[in-house]
Amino acid sequence: MANFRVRFYANSLNRNTTFEMYIPNDIRRDVPREETAYTARKTGTLFLLHGYTGDAGNWVPEYIAQKYNFAVVVPNGENAFWLDGLSTGHKYCTFVGEELVEYVRNTFGLAMSTEETCIMGMSMGGFGALHTALAYPEHFGKAAAMSSALIVHKIAHMKEGDDNPVANYEYYRECFGDLDKVLESDNNPETLVRKLKERGSKIPEIFMSCGTEDFLLENNREFHRFLESIDVPHTYIESKGIHDMVFWDEYTVKFTEMMFG
């Protein structure tokens, strides 16, 4: 698995930024490798989004990427919820969904079609994977979201001076915009789903999972019920687990098999 770090100027962020990249093109000649339907086909691309307080270096499924023959692109999203924030240089949804996809296409010849391009995330990155795929369905054919921080309904109508154990009002307003209008805004994945349905546009395949002991379980159930209520096909799985890498590693493998296998 060849891996490297790319530094480039991102117009959506108004600065230089970096992303990690892993490409399964370094084949050892001293270890026989059986040709399979996966290794013989064109290389797919998976964009991988980290969670709150995370970064691009803390979660890369190298073994399964090699097994199923897909490249992995891992950007840094800071703690911005992978959304276009209010401040200049904080357009993280545009960065991943538009600018980074185009950069990877033009530079590496990867992610050239919707069918071969997927996005996956956990926690804040799970929210980001769903939101980005729904905002750019022409770029992402599938989205896998684990223990997603689908907190829009919880932060709606927060007021100045409010906070919770994760962050304060100012933080959520910077990420999500006007919190009195967030439920109707495009920063709510439900709004994006409704708009795609109304236009008759294709909705990316959605894969979701959450642990039954996870503090975000009810948030994920709520979004699952919403998708069911408007007849959007999707995969939703609950199993024993908490909000940790043990659960995410398990479903990284499972969802990779579903998306690429």
* Rounded-to-integer distance, Cα 172 and Cα 41, Å: 43
230: burial class by Cβ within 10 Å (0-12, 13-18, 19+)? exposed
Q: Residues 71-103: pLDDT tens digits?
A: 999 999 999 999 999 999 999 999 999 999 999
Give the per-residue pLDDT at 65: 82
7: CB partners within 8 A, 6+ apart? 16, 17, 18
Give the per-residue pLDDT at 34: 59
Give the per-residue pLDDT at 139: 98
Give the per-residue pLDDT at 36: 54
Give the per-residue pLDDT at 66: 81
Give the per-residue pLDDT at 2: 86
- Report CA-CA distances (Å) from 64 to 44, 132, 243, 249: 12, 23, 22, 11
Sign of CA dihedral 132, 138, 139, 140: positive
- Report CA-CA distances (Å) from 65 to 21, 108, 162: 11, 17, 42
Low-confidence ranges of the chain (pLDDT < 50): 37-38
